[in-house]
Amino acid sequence: MGLTTQDILKKINYIEADMEIHRQIIFSIPSDNKQEIENTLRLISQKKDQVAKLRTQIKEIDPEEFERIVRFEEASAKFKKLASEKKFKEIIALSESQECILKLKNNDSLPCLVKAKDESGEWTVLTFDGEIRTYSGDEVEI
């Protein structure tokens, strides 16, 4: 039996965590130890290739899930870019101990992954659909 999308995603998460560890290792290697730096960079490159192959597997076995993943990655990158441009004074992310719902004055509630309020009172939200939405402070229930 082949791997499921969830199995592949778990492998990707493990490999990405390992790559992050190796990125940190690079900073601890003395700069005159070029061979060790090159070996570590080569290992990171190999791990990136593994992730790319696993992503291709997801695309082949579950194209819809692959598109959803890409949509979330793009939205996450856009949210990070917005966070660097705007001065968020409040950020709330969904977690096991924290819900993330933006309550609007029209009585709608918007479940979200992340919501952030900037200095002007505008709210920026990353939804479960991978969309980024903004709402003026006047639209949001306090």
For the chain, the structural domain boundaries read 5-61, 79-139
Three-state SS at 118: strand
Closest alpha carbon to 118 in 135, 101, 95, 97: 135
Closest alpha carbon to 82 in 116, 129, 110, 42: 116
pLDDT in tens, the chain (142 residues): 578 999 999 999 999 999 999 999 999 999 899 999 999 999 999 999 999 999 999 999 999 999 999 998 999 999 999 988 988 999 999 888 899 999 999 999 999 999 999 999 999 999 988 899 999 999 999 7
> At what angle are helices 34-61 and 5-28 packed, to 10 degrees?
170
124, 104 Cβ separation under 8 angstroms = no
